[in-house]
Amino acid sequence: MLVLGIETSCDETAAALVTDAREIRANVVLSQLDDHAPYGGIVPEIAARSHIEHLDGLIARAMREAGAEFSDLDGVAATAGPGLIGAVMVGLMTGKAVAAVHDLPLAAVNHLEGHALSARLSDAELQFPYLLLLISGGHCQLLLVEGVARYKRLGTTLDDAAGEAFDKAAKLLGLGYPGGPAIERAAAGGDGARFDLPRPLMGRAGCDFSFSGLKTALLYKVRALENGLDDATRADFAASFQQAVADVVIDRSRNAIRSFQKAHPQGRFLVAGGGVVANRLLRARLKALAAEHGLSLALPPLALCTDNAAMIAWAGIERLRLGLRDDLNAVPRARWPLDSQAAPPPGMGRAGKLGPKA
Ligand code: KG4
Ligand code: ZN
């Protein structure tokens, strides 16, 4: 089974060709980082236009690299959300067009499901159920992955995602974008014990995350400096911040492991995915945490952790081989929780209906 995957939910345009034998025959990603850099953040309109400009060429390149023709395909998988709506539309419409023209089955994939299943693409041994820490610039969640299309959310962030917190902290420290790698580099020479930063929600029950208080505390401490930021102070801030994030993530993950092991005493794996998994301190701490609980830590290679289309193709393969096909009416969705039964995080409320007189 050979499937074309398409990913355009945010600021990466990506196309990939993957087989059900776990062969990644092509995996091309075009980052729009330079397009958005002058604005200091992602501009949705620019993202959508850039996907339109590049997606055709990128698919052609992936087909060339894989040595495949459209007639060799057995299916098409495209991200249908969650993400920037204009951006999602470009990839999903393109996927539908390829499916319609070549009479192929379509999988309209949830981007989070792509992340959730990507570890099974790189690791044939990885069986359900497993616990997933999904930690990126857009997401910060702990999920029970019980099977394809069977996910339970144990916790999510109440405010910023962890990667977003790294990005904001780096901006504040004048370390550039993307912030995670910049903070990690700066932290290498720093003293992580110099600044006493808060660990939001640490020690509390549950698996939710919160990072905005940590970011604000950092802001106040930077403002309070009498002599401004020099390189040594910057390094100490970066190390202290990284330490605080790692402490929180480990604490929340420990609670999630307890829930996982209670629900699935036979469960063997902790999986981590998303761009923040690149962080070496976090990787080491996660490895120790897994070992502490008799679990193995499965980390997909970085190219499958950050946004890519191979994970979308793979999620499509997992769905299509179970007969989970989507038709050409599949809708793009800006919001799309993986676990539709999950209660909204505390303080988020529910989308309400206005009464007749409201
Ligand atoms: O998964 P990803 O590539 O994209 C999405 O968020 O969709 O994740 C990017 C995020 C950014 O916020 C970036 O700062 C963070 O991952 N990141 C890191 C590191 N490398 C990337 N955070 C901490 N340490 C790193 N080494
Ligand atoms: Zn992602």
CATH class belonging to 128-302: alpha beta
pLDDT tens digit string along 48-84? 999 999 999 999 999 999 999 999 999 999 999 999 9
- The answer on pLDDT for 23 being more than 50 is yes
Say how many Å lie between the CA of residue 137 and the centre of ligand 1.
Answer: 5
Kindly report which listed range (25-29, 225-229, 287-291, 326-330) carries the lowest average pLDDT score. 225-229
pLDDT attached to residue 256: 98
CATH T-level assignment (fold) for domain 2-118+303-320: Nucleotidyltransferase; domain 5 (3.30.420)
Residues 301/270, Cβ–Cβ less than 8 Å? no
Confidence at 33, pLDDT banded by 50, 70, 90: confident
Say how many Å lie between the CA of residue 132 and the centre of ligand 2.
Answer: 14
Say how many Å lie between the CA of residue 243 and the centre of ligand 2.
Answer: 23
pLDDT attached to residue 149: 95
130-135 vs 140-147, strand pairing mode: antiparallel
Token output for 220: 């106040």
- The answer on pLDDT for 355 being more than 50 is no
pLDDT tens digit string along 206-254? 999 999 999 999 999 999 999 889 999 999 999 999 999 999 999 999 9
Q: Mutation test of ligand 1: which of 10, 166, 211, 302 has the most ligand atoms closer than 8 Å to its C-beta?
A: 166
**Domain extents in the chain:** 2-118+303-320, 128-302
Nearest-angstrom CA–CA distance, 104 and 74:
6
Atom of ligand 1 nearest to the CA of 164: 12
CA angle, 200 then 204 then 207, to 5°: 85
pLDDT attached to residue 141: 96
Atom of ligand 1 nearest to the CA of 305: 1
Burial class (CB in 10 A: 0-12, 13-18, 19+), 178: middle
pLDDT attached to residue 358: 35
pLDDT attached to residue 261: 98
Token output for 269: 């794996």
Which among 275, 163, 170, 176 is positioned nearest to 211, based on CA atoms? 163
> How much is the mean pLDDT over the chain?
94
pLDDT tens digit string along 242-285? 999 999 999 999 999 999 999 999 999 999 999 999 999 999 99
Q: Mutation test of ligand 1: which of 167, 209, 276, 283 has the most ligand atoms closer than 8 Å to its C-beta?
A: 276
- The answer on pLDDT for 307 being more than 80 is yes
pLDDT attached to residue 214: 97
Say how many Å lie between the CA of residue 138 and the centre of ligand 2.
Answer: 7
Nearest-angstrom CA–CA distance, 237 and 179:
13
User: Three-class SS of residue 35?
Assistant: helix
Nearest-angstrom CA–CA distance, 302 and 280:
12
pLDDT attached to residue 20: 98
CA angle, 155 then 210 then 299, to 5°: 55
Alpha-carbon torsion, ordered 307, 271, 211, 85, to 10 deg: 30
Nearest-angstrom CA–CA distance, 166 and 172:
10
Q: What is the mean pLDDT of residues 351-357?
A: 46
Confidence at 350, pLDDT banded by 50, 70, 90: low
Confidence at 201, pLDDT banded by 50, 70, 90: very high
Across the strands, what pairs with 132? 143, 271
**Whether the domain at 2-118+303-320 and the domain at 128-302 fall into the same CATH topology:** yes
Across the strands, what pairs with 108? 78
Token output for 211: 């990072």
Confidence at 349, pLDDT banded by 50, 70, 90: low
pLDDT attached to residue 242: 98
Residues 2/25, Cβ–Cβ less than 8 Å? yes
Nearest-angstrom CA–CA distance, 249 and 140:
9
- The set of residues, in sequence order, having a beta carbon less than 8 Å from that of 153 and lying 6+ positions away, is 141, 142, 143, 144, 337, 338, 339, 342
- The answer on pLDDT for 106 being more than 60 is yes
Amino acid at 20: D
Give the ligand at the shortest distance from the Cα of 312. 2
